[in-house]
Amino acid sequence: MHPRVLITGGAGFIGCHLAEHLLNKGIEVHVLDDLSTGTILNIEHLKGQPGFTYTIDSVMNKPLIAELVDRSDEVYHLAAAVGVRLIVDDPINTMETNIKGTEILLKCAAKKGKKVLVASTSEVYGKSEDMPFREDQDLLIGPPSRARWSYACAKAIDEFLALSYTQIGKLPAVVVRLFNTVGPRQTGRYGMVIPNFVASALKNEPVTVFGTGKQRRCFGFVGDVVEALDRLMNCEKAVGEIVNVGNDEEISMEELAQEVIDRCQSSSKIVYIPYEQAYAKGFEDTMRRMPDLKKLESLINFRPTMSTGDILDRVIARFREEASQEAGS
């Protein structure tokens, strides 16, 4: 018999792909989302599918969370305030949602011993320059006077909470640190770089790169990521562990911008904007962020399948498809 699964943040970018993936395997899925950063359009195509239900409400609603956890066998906790733009603009909501929401969910799950996969972030590695990032290395987070680090601190507390419940035997929890997950249905509204680059390039508008453009990142395809999350949820050895999930193919932001322009056959030019202008005075960023994937490989024998170029082609195709649908409607 398939488990019944609850996905918090299930109308978000990763959550909706995960819901689709699990439903295709015949698993019952209930999505909870308050639509603060997710959108009902992400799960529109899932309505009416056998085994799919959803609730529009917040992870802060304790009685509701208790009920939904009771009805589920496993919980993927993806609900969070995400995106650099949102974090800089609203640090208080970021911390409250990410700490209190996780605390409520873990408490309810621990009462019934339900298995939880908690989505954390590569942001917790902070300003460390010790590459590639390993799950057991020290974290180097910037000062509290810089609002951008509030997200990293909140997610680190989520990790401590989840692992503490596991250590005292109340809850089988797996913590995953996600690295720049990208793909179709991701919006650029909260500072997500690839959708923003593609949207500009397709309109032949300037492609805006923040800072020097020398910052290097690794982009994981959402299809690979949800496959890894599914396998980790079902891996006994992953319980009580922190696991990096993403891709380890690096690219600089200016290389990425040029690659997008080339693949869109666009006449766009790259424009550089200082961080202070884009976000806030004294904004800090990390120059590299690359995961060590040895632990992921050893636990579930998994390697990402999609290269950065393949991912860009998928995203560009999706943007073009949506544009032609809009033009035709």
Q: Is 151 a catalytic residue?
A: yes
E strands, 212-325, where? Answer: 216-218, 220-221, 242-245, 250-252, 270-273, 288-289
Whether the CB-CB separation of 80 and 13 falls below 8 Å is answered with no
Q: How far apart are CA 27 and CA 264, in angstroms?
A: 37
Q: 76, 151, 165, 279: which is the annotated catalytic residue? A: 151
Under the phi-then-psi rule, with left for phi > 0, alpha for psi from -120 to 50, and beta for the rest, what region is 265? left
In 3-state terms, the chain is what percent helix, strand and coil (to 5)?
45, 20, 35
Range 46-63 burial, b when 16+ CB lie within 10 A, else e: beeeebbebbeebbbbee
φ and ψ at residue 250, rounded to 5 degrees: -90, 150
Q: How far apart are CA 248 and CA 148, in angstroms?
A: 24
Residues with Cβ < 8 Å from 79, sequence gap 6 or more? 8, 9, 12, 32, 33, 34, 59, 97, 101, 105
Active site residues: 151
